[in-house]
C-alpha cells in the first residue's frame, strides 16, 4: 500500500507523461483509488479526508487520458465529484476541489459524459457551487457553460430552477458591472438563455429578462468599440430567439431601443458583407448571423397590424435601412463559390433573405431577379443531398448548435417569396427557365409524404404545402402550357387526386384541403385528357371529395335581424373561412369548367344529392341574405350541370328550380331550365 502513496505523490507533482500515467493505471487499476475514496478513517495525525483526497488525485490523473475519462468507473463517480465541489472547503482541501473539477471537466469532454452528468445530478451541483461562491465557483460556471453548449434541452428539462437561479445572479451582475466584466458577461449569458421552456413564463425568468434589457440598453446607448458591440448584439439576438420582441418594454423607450438594435444590426451587416473578403475575420459569421436574428425581428415588428412597438415613421425608416442591408446580403450571395455552399452562414443568409422576400416584394426587384438562378440551384442542391428520408420540416432554428447544413431546408424558407414572384412575369420566367417548377413538384411530393406518414400537427409541413399550392395556382393561371408539357405535373396531379380524400375527413386540415381541392380542379381543366383523369377510381374519389368540400360550406341559420333564416358559412368552416373564401369561389368556377370535360361528373353530383340540398337551402333562407357573388358561383355550376345532364336539369326543376332561379335573379339558369 505504501507504493500506492508514493505513486500518488508522484502524480501530485504533475511530472508524468501520458505513457507513464497509463502504466500506473495498468498497475493499480480502479480498485485502489476506489478503496481510498470509500475509506472513512485517516492515518494518525492526518486530516480525515486524507485517503479520499489521494483517491481523487489518482482519478484526476487517470482522467487526463480521454479513454479512461469515459470509463464507466469514472462516470459512476460523478455524484462523488459533485459532493466534493459542494462540500465546505477549508484551505487544506482546495486540492480535492481542484481534482474533482478536473475529473468533471474531463468527463464533459467525452462522448457519453454530458448525458451522464445531467442524469447523475451534476447540473444542480454545479449551479449550487456557483451560487455558493466558494472556492472554484468560477470553474463551476465554466463547466455549466460547456454542458449547456452540448446538452441545453436536457439540462433545462431536469434542472430549470437551479439554472434560473444562476441566470438571475448573472443578470444582476450584468446590470451592476461598470467595467470589462459587463462585456465578459455578454459573451457568457447567451449560453444561459434557453429556447425552451419559455423564459418569460417563469417568474424568475421574467425578472432576469428585465435585468438583461436594462444592461443591454445601457451598453448599446454608449459609444462602443467593435469588440464591445459584437457580444452585445449576440446577447440581444439570443433574447430574441428565446422570446421574440417580448423582452423589450412597450412605450417610447422600448421602441427607440428596438429601432436602435435593428439599425445597429443593419449597419453591421452592410459593413461586413460589402467588404471584398467579408468573412475572413474570426468570429464575424457569428456576429452577422446574430444580426440576421435582430433584422428578422425588425421585419416582424414593421409588419404587425396591432401592438407593434414601432410608430409609422420608425417603420418607414427601418424598412429603408433594412432594404440597404438586404442589398448587401444579395451582393454577398452573388459571390458565393461552389465550394462554399456547405457553409452554414450561406444558409443563414438565404434564410433571412427568404424572410424579406416573403414580406417585401417591391424592393430590390432587379437584384433578386438576378439572384434567382443561384437560389434555385442552392435550394435544389440541399434538397437533393438531404435525402428524402429526412424530415426536413423540423429544422426551424437559425443558429443550430450543430452546423449540419444538410439538415437545413432552404426551399421551405424561399416558398413564400417564390409565391409572390410567380405572380409576376419576369421573375416567373426566370424561375421556369431555371427548372424551379419540377423541383417544387418533387418537393411537394416529399412534403406530402412527411405529412401523410405523421398526420399529427406538423404545422411547418402543412404551411409549406399550402404555399406550394399557391405557387402552382399562379402557374396554372399564367402558364397553362407549362402544366401540359412538364411531366412532373402529371405526378403532382396523381398525388392531388389521392390526397384530398385522405385529408378532407380530418377536420383540422381544412385550409390545406381547400388548397388541394381548388388546385386539383384547376389542373384537371388543363390535364383532362391525361390517363390519370379518365374515369379512374382515384379521379372519381377526388371529385367526390371536392363536391363534398364545396357543397358543405354553407348552411341556413336563424337570422337575428328577422324571424326567418339566413344563409351563413357552416360552423365547421367558420374559423378557416378567411383563409379559404377565395379558394372556395375559385373552386366553384373550376368545377363548373370541369363539368363539360368529364361526362361522368354530373352523375357524381347526383349521387352526392347536392342539387336537392342546394335547392332546399335556397328555398328556406331569405333571398336578401345571399350576396351576388355567391349567387353567381351557384349559378355557374348549376347552368353547366343543367346543360350537360338532363337528369340534373330534371332534379332542379322538380325542386322548384324555376321559382328560386327567378327569385335570385339567375337569368342564365332560368333560360336553361325553360328550354324544352
pLDDT reading at 34 higher than 80: no
Q: How confident is the model at residue 204 (pLDDT cuts 50, 70, 90)?
A: confident
pLDDT at 675: 75
Helix axes 436-453, 365-386, angle to 10 degrees: 50
pLDDT at 179: 85
What average pLDDT does range 605-617 have in this prediction? 95
Q: How confident is the model at residue 518 (pLDDT cuts 50, 70, 90)?
A: very high
Q: How confident is the model at residue 401 (pLDDT cuts 50, 70, 90)?
A: very low
The CA distance from 188 to 198, in Å, is: 19
Distances in whole angstroms, Cα of residue 659 to Cα of each of 557, 609, 652: 22, 20, 10
Which domain, by its residues, includes 461? Answer: 435-536
Residue 517 falls inside a structural domain: yes
Report the share of the chain in percent with pLDDT over 90: 59
pLDDT reading at 193 higher than 60: yes
Whether residues 33 and 98 share a domain: the answer is yes
Q: Is 136 left (phi over 0), alpha (psi -120 to 50) or beta?
A: left
The CA distance from 243 to 241, in Å, is: 6
What average pLDDT does range 3-31 have in this prediction? 63
Residue 620 falls inside a structural domain: yes
Across 110-250, where does the E strand assignment appear?
none
Residue 447 falls inside a structural domain: yes
pLDDT reading at 544 higher than 90: yes
Which is more confident, 400 or 286? 286
Whether residues 34 and 88 share a domain: the answer is yes
pLDDT at 74: 87
The CA distance from 201 to 73, in Å, is: 40
Whether residues 514 and 628 share a domain: the answer is no
Residue that terminates a domain, selected from 478, 507, 536? 536
pLDDT reading at 306 higher than 50: yes
Cell of 197: 421552456
Contact 144, 166 (CB under 8 A): yes
Query: Per the structure, how many domains does the chain have?
Result: 3
pLDDT reading at 615 higher than 60: yes
* Range with lowest mean pLDDT among 173-187, 397-411, 609-623: 397-411
Q: Look at residues 74, 15, 16, 4 and name the one whose alpha carbon lies nearest to residue 43.
A: 4
Half-sphere exposure of 495 (CA within 13 A, CB side): 20
pLDDT at 16: 65
Check whether the bond before 215 is cis (ω within 30° of 0): no
Write out the DSSP string of 443-512: HHHHHHHHHHHS-S--HHHHHHHHHHHHHHHHHHHH-HHHHHH-THHHHHHHHHHHHHHHHTTSGGGHHH
Half-sphere exposure of 551 (CA within 13 A, CB side): 21
Contact 639, 668 (CB under 8 A): yes
Whether residues 571 and 480 share a domain: the answer is no
pLDDT at 650: 94
pLDDT reading at 102 higher than 60: yes
- In tens, the pLDDT along 405-460 reads 335 789 999 999 999 999 999 999 999 999 999 999 999 999 998 888 876 666 88
* Range with lowest mean pLDDT among 13-17, 282-286, 300-304: 13-17
Distances in whole angstroms, Cα of residue 661 to Cα of each of 403, 442, 510, 570, 666: 64, 46, 31, 23, 5
Whether residues 146 and 12 share a domain: the answer is yes
Which is more confident, 638 or 6? 638
Residue that terminates a domain, selected from 142, 159, 176? 159
What mean pLDDT is reported for the chain? 87
Whether residues 73 and 138 share a domain: the answer is yes
pLDDT at 526: 93
* Range with lowest mean pLDDT among 58-62, 147-151, 239-243, 581-585: 58-62
**Which residues, other chains included, contact 15 with Cβ-Cβ below 8 Å and sequence gap of 6+?**
none
| Rg of the chain (C-alpha set) | 34
Q: What is the CATH number of the domain that holds 8?
A: 1.25.10
pLDDT at 1: 43
Backbone angles phi, psi at 101, to 5 degrees: -65, -40
The CA distance from 435 to 418, in Å, is: 13
Whether residues 12 and 119 share a domain: the answer is yes
Report the share of the chain in percent with pLDDT over 70: 91
Write out the DSSP string of 653-664: HHTTHHHHHHHT
Whether residues 142 and 27 share a domain: the answer is yes
Backbone angles phi, psi at 566, to 5 degrees: -120, 150
pLDDT reading at 278 higher than 70: no
Q: Look at residues 480, 558, 474 and name the one whose alpha carbon lies nearest to residue 524.
A: 480
Whether residues 532 and 653 share a domain: the answer is no
pLDDT reading at 541 higher than 60: yes
pLDDT at 87: 87
* Range with lowest mean pLDDT among 32-36, 69-73, 141-145, 320-324: 32-36
- The single residue listed with the C-alpha cell 341574405 is 625
Residue that terminates a domain, selected from 136, 159, 182? 159
Residue 180 falls inside a structural domain: no
Contact 360, 422 (CB under 8 A): no
Whether residues 618 and 521 share a domain: the answer is no
Distances in whole angstroms, Cα of residue 73 to Cα of each of 59, 142, 180: 10, 24, 42
Residue 491 falls inside a structural domain: yes
pLDDT at 661: 93
Q: How confident is the model at residue 332 (pLDDT cuts 50, 70, 90)?
A: very high
Highest mean pLDDT among 17-26, 252-261, 380-389, 407-416: 252-261
pLDDT at 195: 81
Whether residues 646 and 617 share a domain: the answer is yes
Whether residues 12 and 132 share a domain: the answer is yes
Contact 367, 361 (CB under 8 A): no
- How many Cβ atoms are within 10 Å of 200's Cβ, its own excluded? 15
What average pLDDT does range 329-345 have in this prediction? 91
Answer positive or negative: Cα dihedral of 394, 398, 404, 410: positive
- How many Cβ atoms are within 10 Å of 4's Cβ, its own excluded? 18
Across 545-613, where does the E strand assignment appear?
554-558, 565-569
Residue 390 falls inside a structural domain: no
pTM for the model stands at 0.84
Residue 107 falls inside a structural domain: yes
Distance of CA 301 to the CA centre of its chain: 18
Residue 32 falls inside a structural domain: yes
Amino acid at each position: 500500500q505504501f507504493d500506492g502513496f508514493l505513486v500518488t505523490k508522484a502524480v501530485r507533482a504533475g511530472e508524468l507523461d501520458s505513457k507513464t500515467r497509463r502504466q500506473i493505471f495498468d498497475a493499480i487499476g480502479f480498485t485502489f483509488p476506489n478503496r481510498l475514496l470509500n475509506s472513512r478513517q485517516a492515518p494518525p495525525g492526518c486530516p480525515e479526508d486524507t485517503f479520499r483526497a489521494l483517491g481523487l488525485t489518482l482519478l484526476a490523473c487517470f482522467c487526463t487520458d480521454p479513454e479512461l475519462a469515459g470509463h464507466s468507473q469514472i462516470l459512476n463517480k460523478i455524484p462523488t465529484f459533485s459532493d466534493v465541489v459542494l462540500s465546505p472547503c477549508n484551505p487544506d482541501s482546495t486540492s480535492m476541489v481542484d481534482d474533482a473539477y478536473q475529473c468533471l471537466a474531463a468527463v464533459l469532454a467525452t462522448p457519453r459524459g454530458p448525458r451522464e452528468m445531467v442524469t447523475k445530478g451534476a447540473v444542480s451541483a454545479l449551479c449550487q457551487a456557483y451560487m455558493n461562491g466558494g472556492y472554484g465557483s468560477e470553474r463551476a460556471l465554466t463547466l455549466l457553460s460547456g454542458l449547456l453548449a452540448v446538452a441545453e434541452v436536457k439540462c433545462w428539462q431536469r434542472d430549470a430552477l437551479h439554472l434560473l437561479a444562476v441566470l438571475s445572479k448573472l443578470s444582476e451582475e450584468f446590470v451592476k458591472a461598470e467595467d470589462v466584466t459587463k462585456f465578459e458577461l455578454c459573451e457568457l449569458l447567451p449560453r444561459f438563455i434557453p429556447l425552451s421552456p419559455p423564459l418569460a413564463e417563469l417568474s424568475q425568468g421574467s425578472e432576469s429578462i428585465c435585468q438583461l434589457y436594462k444592461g443591454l440598453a445601457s451598453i448599446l446607448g454608449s459609444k462602443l468599440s467593435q469588440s464591445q458591440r459584437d457580444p452585445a448584439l449576440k446577447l440581444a439576438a439570443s433574447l430574441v430567439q428565446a422570446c421574440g420582441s417580448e423582452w423589450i418594454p412597450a412605450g417610447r423607450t422600448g421602441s427607440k431601443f428596438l429601432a436602435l438594435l435593428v439599425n445597429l444590426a443593419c449597419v453591421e451587416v452592410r459593413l461586413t458583407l460589402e467588404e471584398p473578403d467579408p468573412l475572413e475575420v474570426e468570429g464575424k459569421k457569428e456576429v452577422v448571423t446574430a444580426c440576421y436574428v435582430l433584422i428578422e425581428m425588425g421585419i416582424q415588428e414593421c409588419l404587425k397590424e396591432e401592438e407593434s412597438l414601432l410608430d409609422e415613421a420608425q417603420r418607414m425608416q427601418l424598412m429603408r435601412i433594412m432594404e440597404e442591408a438586404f442589398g448587401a446580403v444579395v451582393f454577398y450571395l452573388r459571390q458565393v463559390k461552389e465550394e462554399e455552399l456547405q457553409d452554414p452562414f450561406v444558409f443563414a443568409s438565404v434564410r433571412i433573405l427568404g424572410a424579406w422576400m416573403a414580406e417585401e416584394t417591391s424592393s430590390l426587384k432587379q437584384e433578386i431577379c438576378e439572384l434567382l438562378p443561384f437560389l434555385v440551384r442552392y435550394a435544389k442542391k440541399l434538397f437533393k443531398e438531404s435525402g428524402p428520408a429526412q424530415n426536413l420540416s423540423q429544422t426551424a432554428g437559425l443558429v443550430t448548435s450543430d452546423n449540419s447544413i444538410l439538415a437545413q431546408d432552404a426551399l421551405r424558407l424561399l416558398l413564400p417569396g417564390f409565391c409572390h414572384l410567380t405572380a409576376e412575369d419576369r421573375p416567373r420566367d426566370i424561375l421556369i427557365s431555371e427548372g424551379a417548377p419540377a423541383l417544387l413538384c418533387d418537393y411537394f411530393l416529399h412534403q406530402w409524404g412527411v405529412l401523410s406518414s405523421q398526420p399529427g400537427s406538423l404545422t411547418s409541413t402543412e404551411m409549406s404545402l399550402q404555399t406550394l399550392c399557391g405557387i402552382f395556382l399562379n402557374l396554372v393561371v399564367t402558364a397553362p402550357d407549362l402544366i401540359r408539357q412538364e411531366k412532373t405535373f402529371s405526378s403532382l396531379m396523381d398525388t392531388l387526386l389521392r390526397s384530398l380524400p385522405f385529408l378532407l375527413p380530418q377536420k383540422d386540415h381544412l385550409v390545406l384541403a381547400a388548397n388541394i381541392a381548388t388546385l386539383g380542379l384547376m389542373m384537371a381543366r388543363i390535364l383532362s385528357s391525361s390517363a390519370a383523369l379518365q374515369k379512374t377510381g382515384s379521379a372519381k374519389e377526388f371529385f367526390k371529395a371536392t363536391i363534398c368540400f364545396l357543397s358543405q360550406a354553407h348552411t341556413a341559420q336563424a337570422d337575428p335581424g328577422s324571424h326567418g333564416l339566413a344563409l351563413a358559412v357552416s360552423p365547421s368552416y367558420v374559423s378557416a373561412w378567411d383563409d379559404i373564401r377565395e379558394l372556395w369561389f375559385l373552386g366553384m368556377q373550376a368545377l363548373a369548367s370541369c363539368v363539360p370535360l368529364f361526362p361522368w361528373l354530373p352523375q357524381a353530383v347526383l349521387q352526392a344529392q347536392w342539387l336537392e340540398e342546394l335547392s332546399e337551402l335556397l328555398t328556406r333562407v331569405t333571398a336578401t341574405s345571399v350576396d351576388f357573388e355567391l349567387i353567381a358561383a351557384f349559378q355557374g355550376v348549376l347552368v353547366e350541370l343543367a346543360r350537360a345532364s338532363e337528369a340534373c336539369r330534371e332534379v332542379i326543376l322538380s325542386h322548384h328550380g324555376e321559382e328560386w332561379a327567378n327569385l335570385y335573379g339567375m337569368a342564365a339558369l332560368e333560360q336553361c331550365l325553360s328550354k324544352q
